[in-house]
Amino acid sequence: MTRRLHVTTGFDMTRMLLKIAGAALLVGALSPSLLLAQSGDAAAGQGKAAACAACHGQNGVAPSAEFPSLAGQVPGYIATQLRLFKDKERENAIMAGMVIGLSEQDMADLDAFYSSQPAIAGSITPEQEEQALAGRALYRSGNADYQIPACMSCHAPDGAGIAPKFPRLAGQSPVYIKSSLLAYKDGRRKNNIMSHIAFPLSMEQIEALTVYISGLN
C-alpha cells in the first residue's frame, strides 16, 4: 500500500503553522483547567514528590525508560498535565489514581519542585548517528509533503521546550519518546495539537525522531 503525497507550497506550510499556533493558543484560552492557578513552592513540592518517586525518581529522573523524567521540565507544564489527568482529559490508569487527592496548590508545588531540578543530558551511540541525521532534518525543518511542521518551532532547537505549554523533550528516554509519538499517532493521546502532527508520521520517521530527540542536550 502506497502513501499519497500531498505537495504543499511554502505558503501552505506557513499557513498550517499559523493554524497550529492559533489552535494551541485557543485551547489554552478556553480551557480553565489549563490555566496556572497559583505559584508553587519547590520545597513543599519536594516532600509531596515522594509519592511520585517510584516511577519518576527521587529528583525527577525516571529509573525506568518507560516513564518520563520530570527534572528540568518547563515551568507550568507539569501542573497543566496533572490537571488534565484530574479532569480526565488525559487518560492514564496509574496517574488517574495518583491525582485524585491533589489540590491546586499540590500541583503547583510539584511543578515548582520538578522544574527546579537539573535536567539530564541525552545521548546516542555512534551507530545511531546516521538515523539521527534523518531525525534532525525532520525536527528542525519538518516535512512539507506530509504537512509536518518543524518540531523545534514548539520545543526549541535544543529540545528545551517553551514554557508553559510546550514541554522539554531533551533528556527523555527513547522508549518514552517513541511510545508518546505512537500514542499521539493512534489517538490514545488526543488532548492537544500533537495528535494532528503525529498522525501522518511513518514508523521510519518516528524511529528517526526518537533517536535524534533522545540525543538532545
Annotated binding residue at 1? Answer: no
C-alpha cell at 215: 540525543
Annotated binding residue at 196? Answer: no
Annotated binding residue at 55? Answer: yes
Q: Where are the beta strands (DSSP E) in the chain?
A: none
| 3-state SS assignment for residue 167 | coil
Annotated binding residue at 13? Answer: no
Q: What is the DSSP letter of 67?
A: S
82 with 50: CB under 8 angstroms?
Answer: no
**Is the dihedral angle over the CA atoms 21, 30, 87, 78 positive or is it negative?**
positive
C-alpha cell at 107: 500541583
Rounded CA gap, 37 and 98, in Å? 20
Annotated binding residue at 155? Answer: yes
Report which of 140, 155, 160 is spatially closest to residue 194, judged by C-alpha positions. Answer: 155
Annotated binding residue at 152? Answer: no
6 with 73: CB under 8 angstroms?
Answer: no
C-alpha cell at 195: 495528535
User: Residues annotated in the binding site for heme c, as ranges?
Assistant: 52, 55-56, 95, 151, 154-155, 194
User: Residues annotated in the binding site, as ranges?
Assistant: 52, 55-56, 95, 151, 154-155, 194
